[in-house]
Each structure stands twice: as C-alpha cells, then as structure tokens.
Amino acid sequence: MEKIQQHIEAIIFASEEPISASDIKSCLEQSMETKVKKKLLEEALESILLKYQSEEYPFEIVEIAGGYQYMTKGAFHHTISVLLKQNARRRLSVAALETLSIIAYKQPCTRTEAEAIRGVSCDYSIQKLLEKDLIAIIGRSDKPGRPLLYGTSEKFMDYFGLKSVKDLPQLKDFSSEDNMIGEGLAIEEKQLEEGAIEININNEEKAEQKKDDQAE
C-alpha cells in the first residue's frame, strides 16, 4: 500500500462533503483493486490528522458529521470570511443585488412582489440567488396560486457579516432617492409632479373664488 496517506488525502480533498472512513475504504479498494485492512486505514487517518496539527499548515482535516473534511483553522476564519464577502459582492449583478435587497427587507417575499417593486422580471435574478444560497424558499403564500415565499439564508448572513435581519441598515438611514429601485424613482417623481400641479390648480381656483367674493 505505497503512499496510502496521499491517496486518502486526495479523496478527502476532492469530496464536497465530509466523507466517512467506510467510503474512503471503499474508494481505495476500488481504485487499487485490493482489500484495505481497517486497522491500516485507521492508522493512516490518525497520522494524517496529526500531520495537519502542525502550525505550518493554515488548514487541517477534521472529523465532522460522521466523516472527514478539510477546513481552515480558526485563526484564519476572519480572513476567509472577508474573501467570501468580496466574492459574493463581485459576482452579483446589479439586478441580483436589487432583488436580494428587496427580499432581505420585505421577507417573506413572493416573486410577484419583488417584480412589482423593481418593475421588471426577477426570474433570472431569483434563480441565481438560489444557486448561490443567498436566499431560500421558506414557504408558500396564502394568496391565489399559493406562490413561493423567499427569504434570506444563513449564507447571506455570513457573507454580509450580519447576526440577524435586524442588523440590516434601516431604510430611514438612506435618502428617498437612494431607496428607489427600477422604475420606482420615476413613478414617485411623476406623482410629486402631478401633486404639485393639482395643488397649483387648487390654489388658482381659490384665488379666483376670493376675487369673486370681494367683487360681490
């Protein structure tokens, strides 16, 4: 069994989830076409775990969830969290960020509600956010058709360094223009303009009525 430790390390490294000793044993036996004694495997695993306890390695192999997995050591968690947050922000499009913001503040939120605020379809953005595990399906609405309800995930909290949704910046901290997404700003400006015209018309009517009263 030459270099069995290296083969075991390669298996654990390539596994997306914690891999059990029995699965490691099965993989070794199939690739090497020979039986692997349980004791030999246990000794190899023990040696590997001991090896990565050395301070020269920023990562280690830990026994977790019934299996073995590579993980960065605690001293480097903050650095890794910064990297994850930077990657998350870099890879999200403006449309995805807008959709994520709506869901974060309005959750639980349906796709239709998000689209009503943005003024455009959110199908693609929601799909991408689900793929990145930044949002999750948290139930169904009681509205007709029982549409899916979306909310932020634990990964969202980790990426943006939040303990809970309550830690999100309050909307009152932003100017009204900064809060507008999609067509919202244009709609509000139009409403303000129409309101101003209506006020002017009312004022002119009152002025005319006052002149008539004085003339009488």
pLDDT digits (tens, 9 = 90+) for 98-112: 999 999 999 999 999
130 shares its domain with 64: no
89 shares its domain with 175: yes
Residue 216 lies in a domain: no
Separation in Å, CA 127 to CA 109, 117, 123, 130, 200: 14, 18, 6, 5, 47
CA within 13 Å, CB half, 87? 11
pLDDT tier, 184 (very low <50, low <70, confident <90, very high otherwise)? very low
**Domains: count for the chain:** 2
pLDDT of residue 187: 44
pLDDT of residue 190: 46
Residue 114 lies in a domain: yes
Residue 106 lies in a domain: yes
pLDDT of residue 174: 56
pLDDT of residue 26: 94
pLDDT of residue 155: 84
142 shares its domain with 86: yes
pLDDT tier, 88 (very low <50, low <70, confident <90, very high otherwise)? low
pLDDT tier, 12 (very low <50, low <70, confident <90, very high otherwise)? very high
133 shares its domain with 90: yes
51 shares its domain with 132: no
Which helix (H) or strand (E) segment is 70 a member of? strand 67-72
Q: Which of 72, 93, 118 is the last residue of a domain?
A: 72
90 shares its domain with 171: yes
Q: Which of 72, 102, 127 is the last residue of a domain?
A: 72
Helix (H, G, I), strand (E, B) or coil at 24: helix
68 shares its domain with 84: no
pLDDT of residue 171: 63
> Using one digit for the tens of pLDDT, what is the confidence trace for 133-150?
899 999 999 988 899 999
Other Cβ atoms closer than 10 A to 102: 22
pLDDT of residue 163: 77
pLDDT of residue 13: 95
Res 14 pLDDT > 80: yes
Residue 10 lies in a domain: yes
Other Cβ atoms closer than 10 A to 133: 13
Domain range for 121 is 80-179
45 shares its domain with 94: no
30 shares its domain with 111: no
Averaged pLDDT for residues 84-92? 70
Q: Which of 72, 89, 121 is the last residue of a domain?
A: 72
Res 51 pLDDT > 60: yes
pLDDT of residue 178: 47
What is the overall mean pLDDT for the chain? 81
Residue 210 lies in a domain: no
Separation in Å, CA 170 to CA 105, 118, 154: 9, 19, 20
pLDDT tier, 81 (very low <50, low <70, confident <90, very high otherwise)? confident
- Which CATH number characterizes residue 21's domain? 1.10.10.10
Residue 190 lies in a domain: no
Res 114 pLDDT > 70: yes
Res 212 pLDDT > 70: no
